[in-house]
Amino acid sequence: MLAKLQRIDINCILIPSSTKTSTSSVVAVSQPPNKPQPIKKLPNGGVKKRLSRVYKKPHEPKTHQKHDLCSTQNGFSKYPDGENNSCSSRVEKKRGSLGGNGVVKKTHAKCSTKWLRYGGFIPAILEALETVADLDEALGPWEKRLGNKERTIVLKEQSSWERALEIFEWFKREGCYELNVIHYNVMLRTLGRARKWSLVESLWNEMGKMNIVPENSTYGTLIDVYSKGGLKDEALCWLEVMAEQGMEPDEVTMGIVVQTHKKAGEFEKAEQFFQKWCLGKSVEDDGETSIQPTSIKINGYAKGHVPLSSYTYNNLIDTYGKARKLKEASETFAQMLKDGVVPNTVTFNTMIHICGNQGRLEEVASLIHKMEELQCSPDARTYSILIAIHAKYDGIEMAANYFKKMKEASLEPDLVGYRTLLHAFSIRLMVGEAEDLIKEFDERGLEIDEFTQSSVTRMYIEAGMLDKSWLWFNRFHLRRNMSSDCYSANIDAFGERGHVLEAQRVFMSCLEDRTPSALEVNVMIKAYGINKEYAKACQLFDSMEKLNVVPDKCSYNTLIHMLASANLPHLAVLYVRKMQEAGFVSDCSPYCAVISSYVKLGQLERAEGVFSEMVGLNVPPDIVVYGVLVNAFADIGSVKQALKYVNAMKEACITMNTVICKSLIKLYTKVGYLKEAEETYKMIRSFESDPDVYSSNCMIDLYSERCMVNQAERIFGYLKRKGHANEFSYAMMLCMYKKLMRFEEGSRIAQKMKELGILSELLSYNHVLWLYASAGRYNEAVRTFKEMIESSIQPDDYTFKPLGVVLTKCGVPEQAVSNLEITRRKNALSGLQAWLFEFKYSGVEVTSQAMTWFLLREPVVGAASVSGVDFQSAVDSSARIPVRGSEDHHSHGGSQFMIQPRDEKSGN
């Protein structure tokens, strides 16, 4: 809109003086150059805009002589009091009153109390203007007494921009009233707030024609109204016009520009502008000057260390706070105190809010103390902020205490404070406190918002008060003005806690009141899914058309992911196809859910079929889909199929990531591809500075199988240094040393496992037993067996093989050992007793403690019972050792790529 205006040169304009011109600003205005400079570039990007009028200020200072400007060609003369005598002789024209009867009283006995602060006859004028439509009659009694000040007040106090403009035009039409820059500023603000931009521009053009020279406050007004009207670029354009006139912003205008940037979220620009202003830099620099944020004191240097006002300090502190720069905000607050500028309640509220939002409760307490020290009384907003802060950080007692103090200070808590505290009570299940506060809501006639309503519903549900939760919901439902968000929140509250019948009742209540939106249906489908009522979820989805509800993308995604997670991919894929037909498939996410579900069920052919269908519909697979399929074929050791998808991924220019690499290294370890595994491990190291324990264990396993001691020890040493070595890392190294008959190193590994408390898996115990039996350390073998029994680790057939070797080496005939095995197979408990007695009488160091403990102990989940032991099937001695980190890195299906020990905790 500024582009429509034309520039003219008015260097020859005479500037009238007036006693009513604004006083000097906090910061002096610099003298303008001799010639106005054109606007070269505007903030909104390369478009050149021209304003219709560029003002040239005179070099000589203004005088403060009273000088009203009147048109001499119309025969008006100037009077010392600033009034024109032609006003008294004009012909009054009646326009009729508001009542339309043409009779209007010119005086009023009673005036509104809201204007009494002005004193004198001003309240009567304002009362007349509010009740009498005709301006001649309304202003007639005071026409000779309306000075500049009175005219300013009259214009400023109008609540309607139309009425203000009518009065302004009346002043101009009468010709006897001086209209100075202050009057124009008031009108620019009034019209700008009403967003009447064409009238604002017309008034700006008129100022030039009337020789009314803009002041700092004029530009500040224009920047402010355009900014608040959502026209940031146009607002900053006025700043450039100001700069072209050689005028620097004063403190007030500077604050307005900072506010403009802050409102737009441009906190860095706000800070830079303030710093440049402090240094006296011209605004024409357009932000190109590089200024370090910490290189300037708050007062600045170019302004002669003139202290800023409290308003400016508050503005800066708030700007830093919104930019989450607590340090800079605190430094500004400290500088404010240093300059002797007393912080007001707004200052403290801002600082408390900033510190509280970042969890700095100690600083909040310090600010409260400083407030008391400076005798700065907290207002309602102070208490509301403190209530919100302490409620957020689990200081509910402090929040309630501040609420109490607020009322004791005769400050009425606002609606936000009430809602904040009620929400805080409800999420903490403080039912009694919440109900007391609800009574206050009702007594004061305060409205409980929908967000708080749903949180109270959840409170009753989680507190087990299902009846109250329904009554609470019904109270708001019966008002017939609940929104979709509120209905869905209540459905979700019941559904998430398994109360699907109550969730259905809420949904049916919604149907009674109005046609539901997709949101309520989606949440109801979710509730059915949580409660595993998948048939009802599908039925509701299929009936959406009958309910006049069109399924949205969320509807499809909710149902598809629910069915896929429930191992029902054959149903999920049907809705994926419907979703595709409806045009809601924008990525491969729904297909990925179905593919993952098929993989989890081991139905890889169907998973590949869905993949092919997806590609055929031009839905590009992402790295997650490829990762699912690569991992699936890695689990079954299918190198060909896994590499097929790896190559397809490369052809699609999708970069390998660590998840794919870990799947491949699992595959290569399973099939024994050392070279490929080494290359993949190097790739993982290029992605991660510290390869994970899973991949490292894979490499240790491959190296130990080939007795490549140095390579295995290097990776094992790396894991130990990083503190990542786990039970399986140690067990594989132990097995390698046993194979090489390096019993000392193996024994040290076994001892270290015991010291670290990581000897816990059955297969690890079996390898330790084999190590001791092979090394002739029979007592250690038997002690390890005893520890194993006491740890509730169930032995298997493979456990008794090294123990048989121990008995044979101690002189027990092989036939006797065979008989022990036969006895154990027939009756696990009797067989275990026989083994323990045989150890005792064969001269091996053992006591009856293990056997006594075994007989008397309480049964444990997954362990042997007194009546018998259900042992696992034997593990072949040639089986590979388990390789596993803390957990498999894939969340979908698949098993570890080697024989795994029984996990007592998981029951696997």
Q: Distance of CA 3 to CAs 46, 50, 201, 559, Å?
A: 13, 5, 11, 54
704: helix, coil or strand? helix
For residue 865, what are the β-bridge partners?
868
Asked whether the beta carbons of 702 and 717 are under 8 A apart, the reply is no
Per-residue pLDDT of 625-634, as tens digits, reads 999 999 999 9
**Calpha distance 83→89 (Å, rounded):** 13
Q: Is 357 helix (H, G, I), strand (E, B) or coil?
A: helix
Which uninterrupted H or E stretch holds 197?
helix 197-209
C-alpha 831/C-alpha 697 separation (Å) is 37
pLDDT at 793: 87
Task: Look at the pTM and tell me if it is higher than 0.95.
Answer: no
Question: Contact, 387 vs 423, CB < 8 A?
Answer: no
Burial of 480 (0-12, 13-18, 19+ CB in 10 A): exposed
Return the half-sphere exposure (C-beta side, CA atoms, 13 A cut-off) of residue 579. Answer: 27
Cα separation of 329 and 321, whole Å? Answer: 6
Sign of the dihedral through C-alpha 537, 542, 548, 552? positive
Q: Residue 443's CB: how many other CB atoms inside 10 A?
A: 8
**Structure tokens of 532?**
């595993």
CA distances in angstroms from 635 to 67, 402, 604, 666, 895, listed in the order given: 96, 60, 11, 8, 6
8 A C-beta contact, residue 656 and residue 649: yes
Give the closest residue to 615 by CA, choosing from 602, 597, 629, 631.
629
Coil/strand/helix, residue 868: strand
583, with CB counted inside 10 A (0-12, 13-18, 19+), is: exposed
CA distances from 537 to 500, 574, 764, 771 (A): 11, 14, 47, 57
| Residue 831: alpha-carbon gap to chain centroid | 63
Instruction: Report the alpha-carbon distance of residue 162 to residue 181 in Å, rounded.
Output: 20
Contact 249, 219 (CB under 8 A): yes
Q: What is the pLDDT of residue 346?
A: 94
Hey, CA dihedral for 152, 154, 160, 161, is it positive or negative?
A: negative
- Which residue ranges make up each domain of the chain? 116-266, 551-620, 726-850
Q: How many residues does the chain have?
A: 908
Which stretches within 8-67 are classed as H helix? none
Report how far residue 318's alpha carbon sits from residue 354's, in angstroms, rounded to the nearest whole number. Answer: 8
Q: Please state, in angstroms and rounded to a whole number, the distance separating the CA atoms of residues 238 and 219.
A: 6
Q: Which two tokens stand for residue 471?
A: 């009554």
Position 816 scores a pLDDT of 87
Question: CA 350 to CA 314: how far, in whole Å?
Answer: 7
- pLDDT < 70: residue spans in the chain: 1-115, 175-176, 281-306, 841-908
C-alpha span between 53 and 5 (Å, rounded): 8
The three-state secondary structure class of 344 is coil
Contacts 24+ apart (CB under 8 A), 711-717: 712/736
Q: Do residues 106 and 140 lie in contact, with contact meaning Cβ atoms separated by under 8 Å?
A: yes
The candidate with the shortest Cα–Cα distance to 842, out of 797, 795, 809, 798, is: 809
Rounded Cα distance between 256 and 224, Å, is: 6
- Per DSSP, the residues of 523-558 read HHHHHHHHTT-HHHHHHHHHTTTTTT----HHHHHH
What is the Cα–Cα distance from 576 to 587, expressed in whole angstroms? 12
Residue 868, phi then psi, degrees to nearest 5: 170, 165
pLDDT of 809 reads 85
Residue type at position 152? T
CA dist 364 and 374 (Å) reads 15
The Cα–Cα gap between 283 and 275 comes to: 11
Q: How high is the pLDDT of residue 147?
A: 84
Query: 116-266 belongs to which CATH class?
Result: mainly alpha
pLDDT at 188: 93
Longest dimension (CA), the chain: 143
pLDDT digit string, tens, across residues 837-865: 777 766 665 444 444 444 444 443 333 32
Full 3-state SS string of 238-303: HHHHHHHCCCCCCHHHHHHHHHHHHHCCCHHHHHHHHHHHHHCCCHHHCCCCCCCCCCCCCCCCCC
CA distances to 82, 172, 206, 779 from 178, in Å: 8, 8, 14, 115
